[in-house]
Amino acid sequence: MALKAKVLGREALTRRLNELAPAVEKYAAEAKLEIAKEAATRIAAKAPRGATGDYAASIQGARLSDNPDKRQVGVTQTKDKDAAGIFAKFIWRFLEFGTAPHNVAPGGGNISFSGEAHMHPGTAAQPHVFHTWRAYRKAARRKLLAAVNKGVREAQGKR
């Protein structure tokens, strides 16, 4: 016996899911925001503090739609109106991956530079974002699936 499957787009799939279980989207949206906030808290706890701690304090989880001026890094643009993410100062990538030694004199990055070089020694990587997310990802997935299942159970009248 052959199985047939029809591939639906995201909008059609979401529309069909909302017909079957209207509360799923609401519970999933709440779970996504909760997951982003929890991940941000965990990342901030592992973040380098520096002299002021400003960077660690800047890490927060929020909806993407609430931060339209922020640019997404490492992911494609999403059509999910309830998508959540983690926001931090732009220096996160320099801290996460480190920097190579480089010339910081005015015009020092230019190939025709002829002045006196002022070398920056570079910085060692201080990973705190990706390994923290990888450690939390399984629990985050469980939390999101639990929210979806809650909406489905509610639609079936089992709750």
CA gap 61, 35 in Å, rounded? 8
Q: Which of 9-13, 27-31, 88-92, 127-131 has the lowest mean pLDDT?
A: 9-13
pLDDT attached to residue 74? 67
Residue range 1-13, pLDDT digits in tens: 677 777 778 788 7
Whole-model pTM: value is 0.81
Tokens of 94: 């320099």
Question: In a 10 Å sphere around its CB, with 0-12 CB exposed, 13-18 middle and 19+ buried, how is residue 128 labelled?
Answer: buried
Query: Mean per-residue pLDDT for 91-105?
Result: 91
Give CB contacts under 8 A, 24+ apart, made by 2-9: none
pLDDT attached to residue 15? 84
Tokens of 135: 């450690």
pLDDT attached to residue 159? 58
Query: Mean per-residue pLDDT for 49-76?
Result: 86
Which residues make Cβ contacts (< 8 Å) with residue 78, sequence separation at least 6? 64, 72
The residue length of the chain stands at 159
Can you give the residue ranges of every domain in the chain? 20-107+118-156
